[in-house]
Amino acid sequence: MTTTEIPRFVRADGPDKVTGSGRYTADLTLTGMLAAKFKYSGISHGRITRLDVTAAREMAGVLAVLTDADVPDVHYDPQIKDRTLFARDIVRFEGEIVAAVAALTPEIAEAAVAAIIVEYEELTPILDPEAAMDKSSPLVHEDWESYEAGSWLVRSGNTASFSSLERGDVDAGLAEADQIISSRYVADGSHAAPIEPRAVVAQWEGNKVTIWTSTQVPFDARAGVCETLQLPTNRVRVIVPHLGGGFGGKCGFHFEAHVAALARTAGRPVRLVFSREEEFTIPDRRREGIVVELTTGVRKDGSITARKANVVIDCGAYIADTAFFPQLAAMHAVGPYLVPNLMVESQIVYTNHQPSGSVRAPTAPQVCWALESHIDEVAKAINMDPVKFRLKNAVDTGMVGPLGQTYEEIGLRRCIQQATEAAGYGQELPENEAIGVAIGWWPSFASASGSYVKLDDDGAGQIITGAQECGTGAVMTLRQLAADELGMKPEDFEIIYQDTATGPYDMGATGSQTLLNNGRAVVEASQQIAEQLRELAADRLEAAPADIVLADGKAQVAGSPESAVPLSKLAAIAGSGKLLLGHGSGSPPVAPPIVGANCVGDQGMASWVGPQFSCHAVRLRLDPETGVTRVISVHADHDSGTIINPMGAHGQVEGAIIMGIGQALTEGTRYDETGKQMNTSLLEYKLQTAADSPSIHTQFVEVFTENAGPHGAKGLAEAPNIATAAAVANGLAKLIGSPMRQLPMTAERVWDTISEGGS
């Protein structure tokens, strides 16, 4: 099915958002509601020697003060149970929660937090992940071996998770090379930085709690509350009002249990709203810092003979959802290239930094930046044009990848050709301008997901789903799929979503998975209704159900438009005795097996369902006197399978590119020597704005992908974020004569590199 066959629509959540009438979590007000505030450690590493909340509990207007002693004795996190709701004996990063307060006003709650006495024996913070891997390093978690963890994890000391990918004989492959090039790159951590700060509201009614929260993953949030407060699932309901962006930073279980526990103790509803500084320093979903070392062997004709890689990821104080990051990062160190001999080792390491987590395309922009910078170095070493080098070595349809995956039809090479041609690559440019090119890839995350679809007796449709909308429009696109199956318009459908009490399970707005997985479920449910409608129409039109066509809000016999009967009339007939209801779960596709390769610490990331591919060609201008870089234009070509909603797809690419430019040039977390963040406001943490936006040109190479989503679609939201920083880096390298070794490539760092005559 092509994009022109699928109807466009106005987003159901659009009017509320653009007029300001939509309510977000922080807008909610309940009768008798209290304000919540947290007491944070304020230091990166220390042992609690005294914790006294007496003065806070005695303050007028304070209705609840909680510490570790007031909640169940539970360690949690999905892959390694390495943390508790409140600090217990040890604090491991500056944003660790020591106590929580609920009071009549935010001012009283703030005063109560200030009255809590905490004394520490300060411990030396462990801030360098490479040093933390040394056997002589102190441990962030002294009792790490006692933590419950997945049996597939390879752990030791401060290394929370280790993975390796091996194929062929890498030493022999390097021996065959005419040139061997080695590089080292260091990427700083950064933040998702959604404009809406986190907020949570909790209210108990009897023994059940309803939680309104700004989360991307309501079912995960519910599971976290149930686990940490020891509650059965049917006593916890999670609702997400409008969500003001997330970019992965609002994935996972965060502060819902803290607020629910406060509300239960106080006997009144409680609301928590973060300040901007808290939004930067407290949540356990920041983009991870990474060190990447690469060695590639290459022949004079440009063919790659081997690659060695070592990737070290800064986990921060707790594992959160990052245990699979090493294998994901390892795949990005391979890249979408044919590499016959391969050895990649990758590990995520505990430090006393803020915990890392699933920010848009985790590990990918940083490792892609390193690999694609390295690829340009390799091409330069053999005097080969870097675009020609990529075209020679990029994977293509029918090829077998380094881990044994045979690729279905893919459009990567067309992406490279189209993006570079449209950008004018190879043409003469003004002084201090250059075009950098980079390619990237990303998996489509297959998962279980469910939806109900029904038609009321007036013919109006409803989609009831557990899927979550974080601004991407993926949930809104479900209406297109239902409409296409039933011969209706997207506007004919209402969506009920973001409530764990109404919709079936969905993993949430994470992993670019909503359309891929829930879309299949909606199609399946809609097809069940279509079958019912054909049976009803067949009786009325004296035809076989197989001959009935649903189109333009009517059912008709194929080839006989005069026989049409409105769907609303059929729905009215059904309403008197037959319910037009469908349910779907859309069986997730299975990843290809690993063939001819060895994987240690395998977590299912070594072969990919419906891999997405991209090429970004970035034209930029450099002021060598200041190091200031300005991106002029970006040509982005993507293979994301069939594009269901073209307008939404273009918006996703444009937003991701702006985010990628920020990661390239301005966005990076700065720490002092004690591990405290130094740039915790939007004044100091430099996001890109509309004024910084370049001209963006997007093209889609539409390839129908059988083993993926509805109508051959793949994921989309994360892939466009991956190659931008790398393309900027390669443009800069042309202008300054050497690659940039640190990310972000700030004006200061660029100027230093120019001044030093390269790196």
Please, what is the end-to-end C-alpha distance for the chain in angstroms?
Answer: 50
For residue 259 the two structure tokens come to 């607020």
Q: For residues 304 and 174, give the distance between their C-alpha atoms in angstroms, rounded to a whole number.
A: 9
Count other C-beta atoms under 10 Å from residue 110's C-beta: 14
Strand order in the sheet with 304-316: 598-600, 159-167, 342-350, 304-316, 290-298, 179-187, 742-743
Cα dihedral: 323, 616, 613, 686 (round 10): 30
Query: Could you list the residue range(s) of the whole structural domain that residue 548 is in?
Result: 447-584
In whole angstroms, what is the distance from residue 568 CA to residue 460 CA? 8
Give DSSP secondary structure letters for 482-547.
HHHHHT--GGGEEEE-SBTTTSPPB--S-TT-IIIIIHHHHHHHHHHHHHHHHHHHHHHHTS-GGG
Tell whether 260 and 315 lie within a shared domain: no
Task: Say if residue 312 is in the same domain as residue 438.
Answer: yes
Please check whether residues 578 and 492 belong to one and the same domain: yes
CATH number at 88 reads: 3.90.1170.50
131 domain residue, yes or no: no
Q: Give domain status of residue 569, yes or no.
A: yes
Single out the residue in 242, 273, 304 at which a domain terminates.
273
Determine the longest span between alpha carbons in the chain, in angstroms: 85
Residue with tokens 């004569």: 737
| CA distances to 147, 441, 522 from 595, in Å | 33, 20, 34
434 within a domain of the structure (yes/no) = yes
Please list the alpha-helical segments (H only) found in 118-180: 129-132, 170-175
Considering the entire predicted model, what is its pTM?
0.96
Q: Where are the alpha helices (DSSP H) in 555-645?
A: 567-575
Q: Measured between alpha carbons, how far is 620 from 442 in angstroms, rounded to an integer?
A: 25
Examine residue 128 and state whether it is found in any structural domain, yes or no: no
**Residue 578: per-residue pLDDT:** 72
Report whether 144 contacts 346 (CB < 8 A): no
User: Which tokens belong to 632?
Assistant: 């002029």
Is 357 in the same domain as 454? Answer: no
Q: Looking at the structure, do residues 388 and 347 belong to the same domain, yes or no?
A: yes
How many other C-beta atoms are found inside a 10 Å radius of the C-beta of residue 160?
Answer: 30
CA distances from 332 to 37, 336, 516 (A): 40, 8, 22
CA distances from 493 to 187, 453, 456 (A): 45, 9, 10
493 and 571 assigned to the same domain: yes
Residue pair 478/450 in contact by the 8 Å Cβ criterion = no
Q: Is residue 403 domain-shared with residue 539, that is, in the same domain?
A: no
Structurally, the chain folds into a number of domains equal to: 3
CA-to-CA distance for 74 and 228, rounded, in angstroms?
Answer: 6
User: Does the residue 61 lie in any domain?
Assistant: yes
Is 325:511 a contact under the CB 8 Å cutoff?
Answer: no
- The enclosing domain of 555 has a CATH number of 3.30.365.10
- Answer positive or negative: Cα dihedral of 562, 568, 570, 572: negative
Task: Name the token pair of 570.
Answer: 């059929």
DSSP run (H or E) holding 375:
helix 364-381
Cβ atoms of 486 and 530 within 8 Å: the answer is: yes
The residue ranges of the chain whose pLDDT is under 50 are 1-6
- pLDDT given for residue 2 in this prediction: 37
How far apart CA 421 and CA 79 sit, in angstroms, is 45
Residue 574, pLDDT score: 86
Last residue of a domain, one of 526, 550, 584: 584
Q: Could you tell me if 452 and 440 lie in one domain?
A: no
Query: Does 565 share its domain with 614?
Result: no
Q: Same structural domain for residues 263 and 401?
A: no
- Structure confidence by residue, pLDDT tens digits, 361-380: 999 999 999 999 999 999 99
Q: What is the DSSP letter of 242?
A: B
pLDDT per residue as tens digits for the range 577-620: 678 999 999 888 888 888 888 999 998 888 899 999 999 999 99
Residue 222 lies in a domain: yes
Specify the 3-state DSSP secondary structure of 15. Answer: helix
Residue 325 dihedral angles phi and psi, to the nearest 5°: -60, -40
Vertex 106: Cα angle to 105 and 112 (nearest 5): 95
Looking at the fold, whether 417 and 519 belong to one and the same domain comes out as: no
Task: Answer yes or no: is 383 within a domain.
Answer: yes
Domain end (from 534, 565, 584): 584
3-state secondary structure of 194: coil
How many residues does the structure list for the chain? 759
Q: How many CB atoms lie within 10 A of CB 388?
A: 12
Beta bridge mates, 247: none
For 720, phi and psi rounded to 5 degrees?
-70, -10
Same domain flag for 233 and 328: no
All residues at 6 or more sequence positions from 98 whose CB lies less than 8 Å from its CB, including other chains = 38, 39, 40, 41, 48, 51, 67, 86, 87, 91, 116, 118
How far apart, in Å, are the Cα atoms of 531 and each of 149, 547, 560, 711? Answer: 46, 11, 19, 19
Share of the chain above pLDDT 90, in %: 91
* Residue 680 counted as domain residue: yes
Q: What confidence score (pLDDT) does residue 576 get?
A: 67
742-743 and 179-187: which strand pairing? parallel
